[in-house]
Amino acid sequence: MEAESDYTRDGTVDFRGRPALQSETGKWKACAFLVGYEAFERMAFYGVASNLVNYLTTQLHEDTVASVRNVNNWSGSVWITPILGAYIADSCLGRFWTFTFSSLIYVLGMILLTVSVSFKSLRPKCTNGICNKASASQIAFFYSALYTIAIGAGGTKPNISTFGADQFDDFNPSEKDMKASFFNWWMFTTFLGALTASLGLVYIQENLGWGLGYGIPTLGLLLSLIIFYVGTPIYRHKLRTTNINPARDLLRVPIAAFRNRKLKLPMDPSHLHELHLQHYITTGKRQICHTPILRFLDKAAIKEGISTSSSSKPLTLTQVEGAKLMCGMILIWLVTLIPSIIWAQINTLFVKQGTTLDRNLGAEFKIPAASLGSFVTLSMLVCVPMYDRFFVPFMRQKTGNPRGITLLQRLGVGFMIQIIAIAIAYAVEVKRMHVIRTHGLVRPKDTIPMSILWLLPQYVLIGVADVFNAIGLLEFFYDQSPEEMQSVGTTFFTSGIGVGNFLNSLLVTMVAKITGKGGRKRWIGDNLNDCHLDYYYGFLLVISCVNLGAFLWASSRYIYKRETTMVKDVKCNVQIMEGNPITTLDASLGLQV
């Protein structure tokens, strides 16, 4: 029989429910199967999202504002539904089975979408160059397929990345070091899938047919699921050791604190209710250390509240601190919404802007406008290895932080680069408007004598920014979530992008409506050659600068999670008791002073 040290120390099990062996399960060899799925899934998603605005305007004949709104609404749904998928995973089914069922729904949606764009009867008819609007049944079938994909994504997005992170044992120092690079290389894989979509699939859609352009990623997604299930014997699974729904603590803590509002809060947090340290050692769970913020919530753990009624028993200090963490993350989440609005421009207005420019590259090749999105991905692919292999080690020597810089500092750098990107987008649009006035080209189909390559800097810089903020956000929300709520915590990342898309949809609609009153020239309209898109980009630049100030304020008040990751007779206040404990506290310093 294997020695006890041969097993993982974080309580994970293999697919048969037995304690997982360190040598035979998890780590990068397990993640190799997961990233295979993720690459194909990203190819499928971006194969649809990158060029969807063009399909809606050229094939379903929607106007510009409506198509931008519909793309944002669908993208928002794709990034919002993970809240439900994460809740199901954390509360009942677990990450593996939630992902399994959801991935089948995802594939069904892709099949339906491929059918929708392939059969002429499901698309509007054109006669002598005059095309009809899509019928109600055609629209219903197309959008049903799109939103089936959104439902499937709800169970796959929040669980596949957290399931990958579960393959590393935090109690093992070497595996903990591997995990520090996991999210960088995880996102690197997603960028490969996105690059394939924006370079290859977009060209196929516009030149060889939409059915082939959607059919290829559908087959790829089916193949990736086979790859995923081949790796089943070596996956590690985290088991729930309690019947308590961890997500319910978000409500139970403030309710219990309010119920105990008249009780006196002890000055010493050690007098609050907490399970014995042996409980965390036995279960492999982590005790979250007390923090001085939101002290009112500490009343939920007052021992005087103990009674025979389970509903009125005090919560543990770890449960209270878990709720505090979620409250702190909500504040950070709020200041990520404006950057998500900027990100939403990549697949909407940036693409429509590109269609008005000279897209010829040589005598015969014409660049698809949506293909410029590949430069977002290319810049990420170049920068992620540089960040992980050069920037992090260099900064680690300067700061002593294992990550090089703190998670919030990483986000701040990304947000600043994104501001530079939108400033350049504004300047390029001012240039485009000047060329339009000079040549008097104001008709909708006029091609502006200005190369589409002028748009490259804004795409490249957004890609560089995402190396800091997109990867940083995913890691931040996973890392700072209570252990049993990490799927839910990850949805802070996905839901921020989703809400950003919804806000962009609302913003575009309201701006078009308000600025067009009284016969004035709209900022955004069907004819981008006769609009003031530069004003809209200037508006985005202003609110991005204001939001950066709000982010710096929120970061200065955020206190990072502190928890025991190797417990043996040690308290959270780092007072060593009897014995010779080995202790590691995850207590990174943030921007706060």
Q: Which amino acid is at 128?
A: N
Of residues 342, 312, 269, the one with CA closest to residue 503: 342
Q: Alpha-carbon distance 457 to 128, whole Å?
A: 40
Q: Maximum Cα–Cα distance for the chain, whole Å?
A: 88
Q: How far apart are CA 79 and CA 399, in angstroms?
A: 34
**Coil, helix or strand for 570?**
strand
The pLDDT of residue 564 is 52
Question: Do 481 and 473 contact (CB within 8 A), yes or no?
Answer: no
pTM equals 0.70
Q: What is the CA radius of gyration of the chain?
A: 26
Report how far residue 198's alpha carbon sits from residue 374's, in angstroms, rounded to the nearest whole number: 5
| Helix segments in 81-126, DSSP class H | 82-88, 95-118
Given this model, what pLDDT does residue 109 score? 93
Q: Name residues of the chain where pLDDT drops below 70.
A: 1-5, 127-130, 180, 240-249, 278-285, 304-313, 483-487, 562-593
Closest CA to 84 of 153, 137, 36, 6: 153
What is the model's pLDDT at position 167? 86
Residues of the chain with CATH 1.20.1250.20: 20-240, 328-565
Question: Do residues 569 and 581 lie in contact, with contact meaning Cβ atoms separated by under 8 Å?
Answer: yes
CATH class assigned to 20-240: mainly alpha
- CATH class held by domain 328-565: mainly alpha
Helix boundaries (H) for 231-348: 249-259, 277-283, 317-334, 337-344
Q: According to the model, what pLDDT value does residue 570 have?
A: 45
Long-range own/partner contacts, residues 413-417 (CB < 8 A, 24 or more apart): 413/468, 413/469, 414/339, 414/465, 414/466, 414/467, 414/468, 414/469, 414/470, 414/472, 415/339, 415/465, 415/469, 415/544, 415/547, 415/548, 415/551, 416/548, 417/461, 417/464, 417/465, 417/468
Residue with the two structure tokens 């060593």: 576
Q: With contact defined as beta carbons under 8 Å apart, do 590 and 555 qualify? A: yes
Pair 235, 16: CB distance under 8 Å: no
Q: Which residues of 528-558 are buried (b: 16+ CB within 10 A; e: fewer)?
A: bbebbbbbbbbebbeebeebbeebeebbeeb
pLDDT the model gives residue 258: 86
Residues 6+ apart with CB under 8 A from 327: 294
**C-alpha dihedral (53, 57, 63, 69), degrees to nearest 10:** -20
Residue 567 is predicted with a pLDDT of: 41
